[in-house]
């Protein structure tokens, strides 16, 4: 029988009324937002707080700052996971809106903050919920932020990976420090030596890491369609989305042709195959 | 009347045994260690918050009340290994070394206390790895002996940091409760050190300062009169600073909203309170329910904080949750009275 046991359990799902609740407060001394911007920021605020993950990820905060201690992004930007958790908890839509403009993209989703948090928050998770919202609402600044990543996105959406291990070398990652590149021998070995330790049969397969089977591509795309990722992307970059759909259409045709060929060949060998349509 | 058994000779147990004897009933006081005085004695607590009186001045008279008291039968280095319920009270087996002894008692007071959190479990602070990272109970001993020196090289420190809430208010280690004394004791230590060695800088890293009630005075004075510095935010990691002789504390200053890295000569961890081994054993022996935190739970913590709800079983001190010495002494008195009433009827 503890004190906590006497407190009512927090409901994990919101009532309809709660999830439609408007922002609870407004901070003073902020810049004036245009009516459109304001309307959008309030919509995002509502959706954010109605997201079932919100109640799983944001539990409360002691403002201890331990999450910030291990955060790589906090060392370089005016950004901290503690601040993001505070922003997640604010009742002011403009504060959330402002964070969506730039801050949320400082995080590299390394999840160190979660490992440190003494309250059990999923800070990295709530940041990615913020990102999802700004992508699916096509927030202008987000479009700009993500514009240089079209190539990565295309690869991710069509073959499921954007890196192959033969890419893991300093030329591709100019932000690597001296420890990783091996020019500083403090660790004894650098990336060049470590790369040589990769078994050669693994290297064989990684060369072909972008050459996935057509079924894999189609299945992957199906997942993006079903889970709404494609719709989300449409809000952000309609042109890219159309291009991806074209690529996948081509693959689909390729697949259909291959299937047809296979069918004819089988029939040639055994006569008509009635049950193949599966 | 069969004697009343008091388990544990820390402040609560000493107080209970002394009061039972004072009421005129025979008392058996059982202590697992060879000495009396519990954790304050074990770790040589120096001055006790909030009045900054030497711990010996407080424990001394308490110990004197039971030692040599004809109504108190003292068993040092002894544990209870078995307890059978009788129509009134218990038949208990006491074990001293290899010797076993059976006694019938009319009631029991469980004053089995707490253990300090083992700071090695917060591995990021490097306790047990870096000699100059101390647990604050170790610093107590140093202050008590007036030898505040870096264990690594025996030199006097220039800058000391205290980290509060180590193993408290922390779900990472499963201890969400507050230790109630870490703030006061750390600030007291900083004051003691600044008093004797004003050349040593003292920094306290905190989330909240919980010098509750009248203890707040200590917090204010530490700033007003002793120049102790407070930084709001926690250290999340301790490493060795460049050059190798100092410790580097990495954390966030949450008021200035920036990550910080500060070198220190010594870092002191305010380790929290956990239910002691004795408390867990007592819970199993006498069937007292424990809460999710592992402390014994009184039946009605607001109306009857010293009643377990089981006939003849009473509770006192930090066995039911983190507690300061004055509160433990008070509960010892309360439990003595309740146990006496039960045993007499
Ligand atoms: S997940 Fe993001 S916010 Fe968390 S520590 Fe990593 S970079 Fe920082
Ligand atoms: S670690 Fe958790 S509790 Fe501490 S500041 Fe970060 S989010 Fe808040
Ligand atoms: S008393 Fe102070 S140090 Fe101890 S847990 Fe509470 S806030 Fe932390």
Closest alpha carbon to B286 in B339, B244, B337, B332:
B339
Q: In the beta sheet, which residues pair with residue A32?
A: none
**CB-nearest partner of B236 from A62, A69, A75:** A69
Q: Which residues of B touch A (CB under 8 A)?
A: 165, 169-172, 176, 207-208, 232-237, 250-254, 257, 259, 289, 291-293, 297, 301
Q: Is the dihedral of CA B270, B273, B274, B280 positive or negative?
A: positive
Number of domains into which chain A is organized: 2
Give pLDDT tens digits for B219-247: 999 999 999 999 999 999 999 998 889 99
Nearest 5°: phi and psi at B263? -80, 140
**pLDDT mean over A161-171:** 69
* Cβ atoms within 10 Å of A140's Cβ, excluding its own: 12
**pLDDT mean over A81-95:** 95
Q: Which long-range contacts (CB under 8 A, 24 or more apart) does B51-57 make?
A: B52/B188, B52/B191, B52/B192
As a whole number of angstroms, the distance between CA A19 and CA A129 comes to 16
Test B236 with A70 for CB contact under 8 angstroms: yes
Share above pLDDT 70 across residues of chain A, in percent, rounded to a whole number? 73
Using the 3D structure, point to which of A111, A132, A148 is the last residue of a domain: A148
pLDDT for A195 equals: 67
| Domain CATH for A101 | 1.10.1060
A139: containing domain: 33-148
A80 touches chain B (CB under 8 A): yes
pLDDT for A235 equals: 81
Give pLDDT tens digits for B316-325: 999 999 999 9
As a whole number of angstroms, the distance between CA B295 and CA B301 comes to 12
**pLDDT mean over A33-49:** 91
Q: Which residues of A touch B237 (CB under 8 A)?
A: 69-70
Cβ proximity of B7 and B278 under 8 Å: yes
Nearest 5°: phi and psi at B27? -130, 140
Do the strands B133-135 and B114-116 form a parallel or antiparallel pair, or are they unpaired?
Answer: unpaired
Give pLDDT tens digits for A218-260: 999 999 999 988 988 888 888 999 999 999 999 999 999 999 9
The H or E element containing residue B157 is: none
Give pLDDT tens digits for B202-213: 999 999 999 999
- Provide the Cα torsion B86, B90, B94, B99; round to 10°: -20
A154 falls within a domain? no
Cβ proximity of B254 and A63 under 8 Å: yes
A264 falls within a domain? yes
**Do residue A47 and residue A142 come from a single domain?**
yes
pLDDT for A205 equals: 62
As a whole number of angstroms, the distance between CA B162 and CA B190 comes to 8
Share above pLDDT 90 across residues of chain B, in percent, rounded to a whole number? 86
DSSP helix/strand/coil, B116: strand
Cβ proximity of B268 and B155 under 8 Å: no
Q: Which two tokens stand for residue A164?
A: 């192959």
The residue of chain B nearest to residue A78, with distances taken between CA atoms, is B258
> Over chain A, what is the mean pLDDT?
82
Closest alpha carbon to B185 in B45, B74, B78:
B45
Test A1 with B291 for CB contact under 8 angstroms: yes
Q: pLDDT-derived band of residue A165, with 50, 70 and 90 as boundaries?
A: low
In the predicted model, is pLDDT for residue A193 greater than 80?
A: no
Q: Which residue positions in chain B have pLDDT lower than 70?
A: 49-50
Q: pLDDT-derived band of residue A45, with 50, 70 and 90 as boundaries?
A: very high
In the predicted model, is pLDDT for residue A10 greater than 70?
A: no
- B4-113+276-344, which class in CATH? alpha beta
**Do residue A143 and residue A222 come from a single domain?**
no
Cβ proximity of A122 and A114 under 8 Å: yes
The C-alpha of B26 sits at a distance from chain A's nearest C-alpha, in angstroms, of 33
Q: Where would I find the beta strands (DSSP E) of chain A?
A: none
Q: In which region does residue A105 sit, left (phi positive, over 0), alpha (psi from -120 to 50) or beta (all else)?
A: alpha
Q: Which two tokens stand for residue B190?
A: 């900083």
pLDDT for A166 equals: 66
The C-alpha of B318 sits at a distance from chain A's nearest C-alpha, in angstroms, of 15
Q: Which residues of A touch B207 (CB under 8 A)?
A: 62-64
Exposed/middle/buried for A73, CB within 10 Å: 0-12, 13-18, 19+?
buried
Using the 3D structure, point to which of A148, A171, A200 is the last residue of a domain: A148
The C-alpha of B123 sits at a distance from chain A's nearest C-alpha, in angstroms, of 12
pLDDT for B26 equals: 97
Spell out the domain ranges in chain B.
4-113+276-344, 117-273
Residue B289 vs residue A178, higher pLDDT: B289
CATH topology for B117-273 is: FAD/NAD(P)-binding domain (3.50.50)
As a whole number of angstroms, the distance between CA B241 and CA A76 comes to 21
B96 CB-side CA count, 13 A: 11
A66 touches chain B (CB under 8 A): yes
Closest-lying ligand to the alpha carbon of B219? 3
Using the 3D structure, point to which of A112, A129, A148 is the last residue of a domain: A148
Q: Which two tokens stand for residue A167?
A: 């890419």
Exposed/middle/buried for A70, CB within 10 Å: 0-12, 13-18, 19+?
buried
**Mutate: best of B234, B290, B304, B310, partner A, most A CBs <10 A:** B234
Q: Which long-range contacts (CB under 8 A, 24 or more apart) does B219-222 make?
A: B219/B183, B219/B187, B221/B191, B222/B187, B222/B190, B222/B191, B222/B194
pLDDT for B303 equals: 80
pLDDT for A2 equals: 44
Cβ proximity of B122 and B328 under 8 Å: no
As a whole number of angstroms, the distance between CA A121 and CA B172 comes to 11
Residue A187 DSSP label = G
Place of tokens 């959706």: A47
pTM (2 d.p.): 0.84
**CB-nearest partner of B171 from A5, A80, A118:** A118
As a whole number of angstroms, the distance between CA B11 and CA B40 comes to 8
pLDDT for A189 equals: 59
Nearest 5°: phi and psi at B160? -120, 140
Q: How many residues does the structure list for chain B?
A: 345
pLDDT for A100 equals: 95
In the predicted model, is pLDDT for residue A57 greater than 80?
A: yes
Q: What is the ipTM of this complex?
A: 0.86
In the predicted model, is pLDDT for residue A168 greater than 90?
A: no
Closest alpha carbon to B304 in B332, B327, B336, B338:
B338
């Amino acid at each position: 029988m503890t004190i906590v046991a006497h407190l009512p359990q927090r409901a994990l799902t919101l009532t309809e009324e709660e999830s439609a609740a408007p922002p609870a407060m407004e901070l003073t001394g902020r810049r004036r937002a245009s009516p459109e911007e304001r309307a959008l920021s309030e919509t995002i605020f509502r959706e954010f707080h109605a997201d079932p993950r919100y109640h799983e990820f944001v539990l409360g905060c002691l403002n201890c700052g331990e999450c910030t201690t291990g955060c790589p992004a906090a060392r370089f930007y005016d950004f901290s996971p503690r601040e993001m958790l505070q922003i997640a908890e604010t009742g002011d839509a403009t504060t959330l809106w402002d964070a969506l403009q730039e801050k949320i993209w400082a995080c590299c989703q390394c999840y160190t903050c979660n490992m440190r948090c003494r309250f059990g928050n999923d800070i990295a998770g709530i940041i990615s919920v913020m990102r999802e919202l700004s992508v699916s609402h096509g927030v202008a600044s987000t479009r700009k932020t993500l514009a240089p990543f079209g190539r990565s996105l295309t690869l991710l959406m069509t073959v499921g990976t954007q890196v192959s291990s033969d890419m893991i070398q300093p030329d591709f990652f100019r932000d690597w420090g001296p420890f990783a590149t091996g020019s500083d021998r403090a660790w004894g070995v650098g990336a060049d030596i470590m790369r040589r330790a990769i078994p050669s049969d693994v290297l064989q397969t990684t060369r072909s890491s972008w050459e996935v089977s057509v079924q894999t591509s189609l299945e992957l795309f199906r997942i993006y369609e079903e889970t709404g990722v494609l719709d989300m992307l449409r809000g952000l970059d309609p042109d890219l989305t159309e291009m991806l759909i074209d690529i996948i259409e081509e693959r689909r045709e390729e697949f259909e042709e291959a299937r047809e060929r296979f069918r004819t060949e089988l029939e040639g060998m055994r006569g008509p195959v009635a049950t193949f349509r599966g | 009347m069969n004697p009343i058994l008091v388990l544990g000779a820390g402040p609560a147990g000493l107080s209970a045994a002394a009061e039972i004897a004072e009421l005129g009933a025979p008392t058996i006081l059982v202590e697992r260690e060879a000495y009396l005085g519990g954790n304050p004695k074990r770790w040589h607590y120096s001055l006790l918050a909030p009045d900054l009186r030497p711990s010996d001045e407080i424990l001394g008279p308490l110990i004197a009340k039971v030692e040599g008291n004809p109504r108190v039968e003292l068993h040092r280095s002894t544990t209870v290994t078995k307890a059978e319920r009788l129509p009134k009270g218990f038949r208990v087996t006491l074990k001293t070394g290899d010797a076993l002894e059976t006694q019938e008692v009319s009631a029991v007071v469980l004053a089995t206390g707490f253990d300090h959190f083992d700071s090695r479990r917060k591995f990021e602070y490097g306790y047990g790895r870096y000699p100059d990272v101390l647990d604050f109970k170790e610093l107590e001993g140093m202050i008590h002996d007036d030898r505040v020196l870096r264990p690594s090289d025996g030199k006097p420190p220039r800058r000391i940091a205290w980290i509060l809430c180590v193993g408290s208010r922390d779900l990472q280690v499963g201890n969400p409760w507050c230790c109630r004394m870490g703030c006061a004791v750390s600030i007291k230590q900083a004051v003691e050190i600044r008093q004797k060695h004003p050349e040593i800088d003292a920094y306290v890293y905190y989330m909240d300062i919980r010098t509750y009630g009248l203890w707040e005075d200590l917090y204010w004075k530490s700033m007003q009169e002793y120049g102790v510095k407070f930084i709001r935010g926690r250290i999340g990691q301790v490493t060795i600073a460049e050059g190798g002789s100092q410790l580097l504390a990495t954390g966030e200053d949450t008021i200035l909203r920036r990550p910080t890295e500060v070198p220190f000569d010594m870092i002191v961890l305010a380790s929290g309170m956990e239910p002691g081994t004795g408390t867990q054993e007592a819970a199993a022996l006498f069937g007292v329910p424990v809460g999710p935190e592992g402390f014994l739970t009184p039946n009605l913590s607001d109306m009857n904080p010293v009643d377990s709800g089981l006939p003849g079983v009473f509770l006192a001190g930090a066995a039911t949750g983190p507690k300061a010495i004055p509160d433990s002494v008070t509960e010892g008195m309360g439990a003595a009275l309740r146990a006496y009433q039960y045993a007499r009827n």
